[in-house]
């Protein structure tokens, strides 16, 4: 079975030594978010994840969720419900929610380590509270006062959970095609009718109500994506005073049989004239969804990060225990029957690939979470810059950290050899669970189009400019630092190339919009690798400037060296693909 | 559910237009292997795979194999046993085995399309007859006359199946550590005692006997890999006249719970003083194993190829059916609710990645199979060249085609979006099944060490020289062919770089043997991509010279263009990693 230990040392290094998040929180007005409080929250979060959630990870995979077709009730795996009760009682559901609605009022970036730990400990379980956050944000920013009191407070307090009901059988990426209908009723509510699929945590036994946020069409809706409205549709009816009434016409029709995340309930939800209330303006529902997308996409990126870290931890342990063959340069441990496989350079290559992607990825992801908070900065210029950079980085964090999650769980399993393929070691579960993350909340291809089509081309590279400015400032600051020379020079060269490739694509796209699609994936991955090079260079500088032990500093330096030598060159292949353009993507028979 | 259609057109193109296998077979003395016979064999094989095996693929995944702990008997999934009876009755078990023992006497390369089709149709089922081939070869080359009559004939006729019992709990890649004992008995047989794990098809209900080829130590065995002997140990005792007697002390202790290939029985086999017979010389068992490794490794490479092709076929179908969003350059199918996703360049990128790896990989793999036949050429020089090239290409074919199998099943699943993660579409099974292929029969890391350490450094690049000679001959032949210029120039440059990188590594390794391990994986993948560039250039030339329709020729040219522009540049990243050497692979704590 795979084990999990929360990487608190590296989490603190990223938050406090690299990002100086404690100072940022004070500047942003989060008076309670002191270093002491944050440390205590993380210690307690780590305990909960290590001792309560992690032991349930294999249980969830084996038992899965079950649906009683007669009652439409879903039973979650043994222990899941009790773990949720502890989570809600601990106030975790509202960690980053406003105190006015019962939350803890901590910054987003303070909640991110907890999210990473939950995902690493038990991704399937973590998916139950995950979408509450999206529902919370939708109601907070777009709901009426009574909706906030009636629905938001129980979500923040963890008494209910939330879902996001977007996908239908015939429409996933293309929400403009959706068919679910909303008919106005005399009492101001709407009757919602339609079938939604892939609804994470759509039904469960954790709480006595579930708040569905549902996209549907009003009778007078224009066709396409401009005719979609957002509704709040509870599982059990709720009146305008927040009192629960009878069951609503909302029913789980079936559970999907999936490759992984067996402990998560992925539901078909049928709405059969269910009572719902319009949230925000008619026909503007998609805009409401977009506002919560940044945090939801960052959250899925964190899932990739958490799974990668857990996979790496287990691969490191196994590579130290497993004795097999001698080092080619001569026995390292002659007293043993063979050397531990960690001595073999190729095993180190796999481990260091994971290590460099996990630790660098953590800095990148946590920084983006901090941007979520900085997007509410009092200073308008700082706010605009943070918002632009957040929009630019969100698809990169989501897509790269999940693609790397698939890669890291692959390498970690590979370190186990044939044993990795056997269920009892738990590595294959991590690989199966990781596989969902590049699909849901927008596939990698969708993230790539968001990045290149919207954030770069449409918004004229505002976010990229902020990013390149940050890189340039760092390089200038350390231009004469010999210890950073191995990183600053290559980083500067890559930043210049990044700009050139962007200009190249923008020119090509002006002539043929399909050039955007032809470059999008490679541009996304290229951007992720260059961004990670920046975060690695900054991590080395931060470690050197920190009070950490020399071994810690050397470890950061070694991992950065590996990253620059062996991972960053992947940008060469991506750049070549970008430059080849649409001409190298011949059309295929369409019928 | 995923479907499968045998790609007979492309198989014939590779065999006859690219490789001219029919002419080669005649030259090598396989008089029966005429084009007519081969066509008939492939048609019948395709029918069997499409109509008998493919429909059982999902069945095998869902039902799995079950073990009766009391009797030690394994029950295979519904339909598997009947499919095997049809396979045996059709003479497929002995397709490439000598007629003297009841086989069809066809060349190895004639059996390869059948193997690919079986693997694509039903990998789990294909694993039952797969290892018979290894047992057949071990007995053919190293067995005594009576052993060949007693054990080989039933294997060739498909009345029994075979296994290879190498791995033990504490030793996989490092067979020198194995502990299974063989005690001599007065009657000339040996008592075999020990536990073997990961034994594919170690127990089943297809046949009334199973022939285990077992590695074990004689009492006077030297330590390490030079003290390992090979034994034939039947499930039911067999006397020297071939008559079956009572049950042998061989028992399936348990079945592994695996990520995929649920329909395959992966067994723990306990030998408790079982009657076995020495095959070949004492202490030379590992050499016996090595002789059959080329064909077994090529066979696993074909598994990667078959799964990739099936995944691609289904992704192509889905990408034509699934309507989602409009092409960025404007609607292509305005009469539909949205355009089929195959119009989106990023979907084409994924499909063409698979297509270029599958079709190019097929040429590379089939050519290596032809080398197995040519290694028995009457001409000593041709024989030596074929043998050297086969040894060089085997780890490349095994490792690259299986790594690409993981990649192609990944892309194909990704084309389905969230639907790919759901069991009913069958794509996630292909991804789970593919995951074993980079692990068993030697992990990718082991293949990389075999390639660089043994085939290149130890054998002084004999195989690489043959390969580069072949590339050079092709480039010279087509030096003035303008239509091939986009491929010949880049191929020549890559071939020169391949040679330079090899020299670079050899020099570095002379100073530090760990440089071999540091470069091995990247050298392996680099070699695979350059070899594939050669096969793509040759495929374009072969298509142009063939009687195929213009559309077929253009399709090959388009796919080659994609490959050279978007896949071959991965060599840039691998070359950079190779050049960075052991210095970029810092040591990690070993305890």
Crossing angle of helices A550-562 and A514-545, in 10° steps, is 160
pLDDT band per the 50, 70, 90 thresholds, residue A1: confident
Which residues in chain B have their CB less than 8 angstroms from residue A329's CB? Answer: 512-514
Q: Could you report the per-residue pLDDT of A499-520, keeping only the tens digit for each?
A: 999 999 999 999 999 999 999 9
Helix ranges restricted to H, B95-201? 108-142, 145-147, 153-156
Q: Could you report the per-residue pLDDT of B26-80, keeping only the tens digit for each?
A: 999 999 999 999 999 999 999 999 999 999 999 999 999 999 999 999 999 999 9
Among the partner-chain residues B516, B566, B590, the one whose CB lies closest to the CB of A320 is B590
DSSP 8-state secondary structure symbol assigned to residue B263: T
For residue A513, give the chain B residue with the closest CA. B329
Between CA B368 and CA B377, with CA B371 as vertex, the angle to 5 degrees is 175
Q: What is the pLDDT of residue A375?
A: 87
Q: What is the pLDDT of residue B375?
A: 87
pLDDT band per the 50, 70, 90 thresholds, residue B377: confident
Q: Give the whole-number percent of chain A exceeding pLDDT 70.
A: 100
- Best A436, A569, A575 member to test B by mutation, with max B CBs in 10 Å, is A569
Name residues whose C-beta falls within 8 Å of residue A240's C-beta, 6 or more positions apart in sequence: A146, A150
Instruction: Say whether B222 sits in a helix, a strand or coil.
Output: coil
Find the radius of gyration of the CA atoms of chain B.
Answer: 24
What letters, b where the CB count within 10 A reaches 16 and e where it falls short, cover B210-232?
bbbbbbbbbeebeeebebbbbbb
Among the partner-chain residues B423, B520, B566, the one whose CB lies closest to the CB of A257 is B423
Q: What is the pLDDT of residue B157?
A: 96
Question: What integer is the mean pLDDT of B146-173?
Answer: 95
Whether residue B136 is found in the same domain as residue B172 = no
Whether residue A381 is found in the same domain as residue A508 = yes
- Contact at CB, A417 and B582, closer than 8 angstroms: no
Helix, strand, coil abundance in chain A, percent, nearest 5: 60, 15, 25
- Contact at CB, A423 and B566, closer than 8 angstroms: no
Task: Quote the domain boundaries for residue A540.
Answer: 289-582
| A561/A558 Cα distance (integer angstroms) | 5
Would residue A106 count as lying in a domain? yes
Q: Could you report the per-residue pLDDT of A400-433, keeping only the tens digit for each?
A: 999 999 999 999 999 999 999 999 999 999 999 9
Given A89, A123, A152, the domain boundary residue is A152
- Best B62, B267, B319, B349 member to test A by mutation, with max A CBs in 10 Å, is B349
For residue B256, give the chain A residue with the closest CA. A422
The CATH number for A486's domain is: 1.20.140.10
| Continuous segment of H or E residues that includes residue A413 | helix A380-415
Instruction: Say whether A49 sits in a helix, a strand or coil.
Output: helix
Query: Of B392, B409, B443, B389, whose CA–CA distance to B304 is shortest?
Result: B409
Whether residue A227 is found in the same domain as residue A261 = yes
The CATH number for B115's domain is: 1.10.540.10
Least confident of A130-139, A230-239, A301-310, A365-374: A130-139
Whether the per-residue pLDDT at A131 is higher than 80: the answer is yes
Integer angstrom CA distances of residue A527 from A393, A486, A531, A572: 9, 20, 6, 12
In which residue are the tokens 């632009």 written? A388
Given A235, A259, A284, the domain boundary residue is A284
Q: What is the pLDDT of residue A123?
A: 98
For A521, counting Cβ atoms within 10 Å of its Cβ (0-12 exposed, 13-18 middle, 19+ buried), the class is: buried
In which residue are the tokens 């049809």 written? B86
Whether the per-residue pLDDT at A288 is higher than 80: the answer is no
Which residues in chain A have their CB less than 8 angstroms from residue B448's CB? Answer: 346
Concatenate the DSSP letters of all residues of B447-502 into one string: HHHIIIIIIIIITTTHHHHHHHHHHHHHHHHTTT-GGGHHHHHHHHHHHHHHHHHH
| B406/B104 Cα distance (integer angstroms) | 33
Given B251, B283, B315, the domain boundary residue is B283
Whether residue B137 is found in the same domain as residue B241 = no
Whether the per-residue pLDDT at A292 is higher than 80: the answer is no
Question: What integer is the mean pLDDT of B516-541?
Answer: 98
In which residue are the tokens 């309560």 written? A52
Query: Of B326, B323, B373, whose CA–CA distance to B345 is shortest?
Result: B326
Q: What is the pLDDT of residue A314?
A: 98
Among the partner-chain residues B338, B417, B588, the one whose CB lies closest to the CB of A443 is B417
Query: Of A362, A347, A260, A258, whose CA–CA distance to A308 is shortest?
Result: A362
Query: Of A139, A184, A134, A527, whose CA–CA distance to A300 is shortest?
Result: A134
- Best A517, A526, A562, A581 member to test B by mutation, with max B CBs in 10 Å, is A517
| B572/B586 Cα distance (integer angstroms) | 22
Whether the per-residue pLDDT at B292 is higher than 80: the answer is no
Concatenate the DSSP letters of all residues of B296-355 into one string: HHHHHHHHHHHHHHHHHHHHHHHHHH-B-S--TTS-S-TTSSS-BGGGSHHHHHHHHHHH
Q: Could you count the other beta carbons within 10 Å of the beta carbon of residue B11? A: 21
- Contact at CB, A348 and B585, closer than 8 angstroms: yes
How would you classify the pairing of strands A210-216 and A161-165?
A: parallel
Question: What integer is the mean pLDDT of B459-465?
Answer: 96
Do A134 and A200 meet the contact criterion of CB atoms below 8 Å apart? Answer: no
Whether residue B178 is found in the same domain as residue B205 = yes
| B6/B8 Cα distance (integer angstroms) | 6
- Contact at CB, B329 and A512, closer than 8 angstroms: yes
Q: What is the pLDDT of residue A521?
A: 98
- Contact at CB, A590 and B521, closer than 8 angstroms: no
Whether residue A455 is found in the same domain as residue A566 = yes
| A392/A448 Cα distance (integer angstroms) | 11
Among the partner-chain residues B256, B432, B520, the one whose CB lies closest to the CB of A259 is B432
Whether residue A388 is found in the same domain as residue A295 = yes
pLDDT band per the 50, 70, 90 thresholds, residue A551: very high
- Contact at CB, B431 and A333, closer than 8 angstroms: no
Q: What is the 3-state secondary structure (H, E, C) of B264-284?
A: CCEEEEEEEEEEEEEECCCCE
Whether the per-residue pLDDT at B291 is higher than 80: the answer is no
Whether residue A123 is found in the same domain as residue A232 = no
Would residue B14 count as lying in a domain? yes
Q: What is the pLDDT of residue B154?
A: 97
Would residue A591 count as lying in a domain? no
pLDDT band per the 50, 70, 90 thresholds, residue B178: very high
Would residue B388 count as lying in a domain? no
| Continuous segment of H or E residues that includes residue A244 | strand A244-247
Residues of A with catalytic annotation? 441
Q: Give the whole-number percent of chain A exceeding pLDDT 90.
A: 95
- Contact at CB, A418 and B432, closer than 8 angstroms: no
Q: Is A476 left (phi over 0), alpha (psi -120 to 50) or beta?
A: alpha
Would residue B402 count as lying in a domain? no
Do B267 and B252 meet the contact criterion of CB atoms below 8 Å apart? Answer: yes
Q: Could you count the other beta carbons within 10 Å of the beta carbon of residue B170? A: 15
Q: What is the pLDDT of residue B293?
A: 79
Q: Per the structure, how many domains does chain B have?
A: 3
Whether residue A559 is found in the same domain as residue A504 = yes
| B327/B338 Cα distance (integer angstroms) | 9
Concatenate the DSSP letters of all residues of A245-281 into one string: EEEPSEEEEEE--BSS-TTS-EEEEEEEEEEEEEESS
DSSP 8-state secondary structure symbol assigned to residue A171: B
Choose between B375 and A343: higher pLDDT: A343
Instruction: Say whether A69 sits in a helix, a strand or coil.
Output: coil
- Contact at CB, A558 and B420, closer than 8 angstroms: no
Concatenate the DSSP letters of all residues of B46-100 into one string: HHHIIIIIGGGHHHHHHH--EEETTTTEEEPPTTHHHHHHHHHHTTGGGTTS-GG
Name residues whose C-beta falls within 8 Å of residue B290's C-beta, 6 or more positions apart in sequence: none
- Best B458, B569, B583 member to test A by mutation, with max A CBs in 10 Å, is B569
| A524/A519 Cα distance (integer angstroms) | 8
Would residue A293 count as lying in a domain? yes
For A219, counting Cβ atoms within 10 Å of its Cβ (0-12 exposed, 13-18 middle, 19+ buried), the class is: exposed
Instruction: Return the structure tokens found at A455.
Output: 């954030």
Query: Of A27, A24, A285, whose CA–CA distance to A141 is shortest?
Result: A285
Nearest-CA distance B348 → chain A (Å)? 7
| Continuous segment of H or E residues that includes residue B358 | helix B345-374
The CATH number for B234's domain is: 2.40.110.20
Integer angstrom CA distances of residue A154 from A189, A209, A306, B541: 20, 9, 28, 69
Which residues in chain B have their CB less than 8 angstroms from residue A432's CB? Answer: 259, 432
Q: What is the pLDDT of residue B245?
A: 96
Q: What is the pLDDT of residue B287?
A: 81
Distance between first and last Cα of chain B? 47
Q: What is the pLDDT of residue B234?
A: 98
Crossing angle of helices A345-374 and A550-562, in 10° steps, is 100
- Contact at CB, B172 and A569, closer than 8 angstroms: no
Do A132 and A115 meet the contact criterion of CB atoms below 8 Å apart? Answer: no
Nearest-CA distance A201 → chain B (Å)? 16
Would residue A589 count as lying in a domain? no
Q: Give the whole-number percent of chain B exceeding pLDDT 70.
A: 100
| B552/B546 Cα distance (integer angstroms) | 10
Q: What is the pLDDT of residue B558?
A: 98
Whether residue B138 is found in the same domain as residue B163 = no
For residue B199, give the chain A residue with the closest CA. A418
Q: What is the pLDDT of residue A590?
A: 87
In which residue are the tokens 């946020």 written? A213
Among the partner-chain residues A436, A518, A566, the one whose CB lies closest to the CB of B580 is A566
Between CA B380 and CA B386, with CA B383 as vertex, the angle to 5 degrees is 150
Do B338 and B326 meet the contact criterion of CB atoms below 8 Å apart? Answer: yes
pLDDT band per the 50, 70, 90 thresholds, residue A559: very high
Whether residue B174 is found in the same domain as residue B133 = no
Would residue B513 count as lying in a domain? yes
Q: Could you report the per-residue pLDDT of A79-117, keeping only the tens digit for each?
A: 999 999 999 999 999 999 999 999 999 999 999 999 999
Q: What mean pLDDT, rounded, does chain B reach?
A: 96
Whether the per-residue pLDDT at A377 is higher than 90: the answer is no
Report the C-alpha dihedral over residues A585, A589, B1, B4, rounded to 10 degrees: -100
Whether residue A80 is found in the same domain as residue A114 = yes
Crossing angle of helices B514-545 and B462-477, in 10° steps, is 30
Q: Give the whole-number percent of chain B exceeding pLDDT 90.
A: 95
């Amino acid at each position: 079975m795979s084990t999990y230990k929360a990487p608190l040392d590296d989490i603190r290094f990223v938050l406090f030594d690299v990002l100086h998040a404690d100072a940022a929180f004070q500047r942003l007005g989060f008076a309670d978010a002191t270093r002491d409080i944050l440390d205590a929250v993380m210690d307690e979060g780590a305990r909960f994840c290590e001792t309560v959630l992690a032991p349930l990870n294999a249980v969830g995979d084996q038992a899965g969720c079950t649906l009683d077709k007669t009652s439409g009730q879903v039973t979650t795996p043994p222990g899941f419900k009790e773990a949720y009760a502890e989570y809600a009682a601990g106030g975790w559901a509202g960690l980053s929610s406003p105190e006015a609605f019962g939350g803890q009022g901590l910054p987003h970036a303070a909640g991110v380590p907890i999210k990473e730990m939950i995902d690493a400990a038990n991704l399937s379980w973590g998916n139950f509270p995950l979408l509450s956050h999206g529902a919370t944000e939708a109601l907070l920013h777009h709901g009426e006062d009574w909706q906030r009191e009636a629905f938001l407070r129980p979500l923040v307090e963890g008494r209910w959970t939330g879902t996001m009901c977007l996908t239908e059988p015939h429409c996933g990426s293309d929400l403009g095609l959706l068919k679910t209908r909303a008919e106005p009723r005399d009492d101001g509510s709407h009757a919602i009718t339609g079938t939604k699929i892939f609804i994470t945590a759509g039904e469960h036994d954790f709480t006595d109500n579930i708040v569905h946020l549902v996209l549907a069409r009003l009778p007078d809706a224009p066709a396409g994506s401009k005719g979609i409205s957002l509704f709040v549709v509870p599982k059990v009816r709720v009146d305008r005073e927040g009192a629960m009434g009878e069951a609503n016409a909302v029913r789980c029709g079936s559970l999907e049989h999936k490759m992984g995340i067996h402990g998560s309930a992925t539901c078909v939800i049928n709405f059969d004239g269910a009572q719902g209330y319009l949230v925000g303006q008619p026909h503007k529902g998609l805009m409401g969804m977009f506002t919560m997308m940044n945090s939801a996409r960052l959250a899925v990126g964190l899932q990739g990060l958490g799974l990668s870290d857990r996979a790496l931890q287990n691969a490191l342990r196994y590579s130290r225990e497993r004795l097999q063959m001698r080092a080619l340069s001569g026995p390292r441990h002659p007293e043993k029957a063979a050397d531990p496989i960690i001595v073999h350079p190729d095993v180190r290559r796999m481990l260091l690939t994971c290590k460099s992607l996990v630790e660098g990825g953590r800095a990148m992801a946590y920084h983006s979470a901090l941007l979520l908070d900085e997007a509410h900065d009092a200073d308008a210029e700082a706010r605009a810059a943070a918002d632009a950079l957040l929009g630019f980085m969100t698809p990169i964090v989501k897509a790269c950290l999940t693609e790397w999650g698939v890669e890291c769980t692959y390498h970690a399993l590979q370190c186990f050899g044939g044993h990795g393929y056997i269920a009892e070691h738990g590595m294959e579960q991590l690989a199966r669970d990781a596989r969902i993350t590049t699909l849901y909340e927008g596939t990698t291809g969708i993230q790539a189009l968001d990045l290149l089509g919207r954030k770069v081309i449409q918004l004229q590279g505002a976010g990229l400019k902020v990013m390149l400015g940050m890189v340039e400032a760092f390089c200038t600051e350390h231009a004469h630092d010999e210890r950073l020379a191995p990183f600053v020079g290559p980083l500067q060269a890559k930043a210049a190339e990044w700009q050139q490739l962007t200009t190249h694509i923008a020119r090509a796209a002006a002539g043929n919009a399909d050039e955007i699609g032809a470059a999008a994936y490679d541009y996304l991955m290229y951007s992720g690798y260059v961004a990670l090079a920046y975060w690695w260079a900054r991590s080395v500088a931060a470690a050197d400037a920190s009070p950490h032990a020399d071994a810690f500093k050397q470890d950061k330096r070694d991992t950065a060296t590996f990253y620059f030598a062996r991972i960053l060159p992947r940008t060469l292949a991506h750049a070549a693909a970008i430059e080849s353009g649409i001409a190298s993507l011949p059309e295929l028979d369409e019928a």
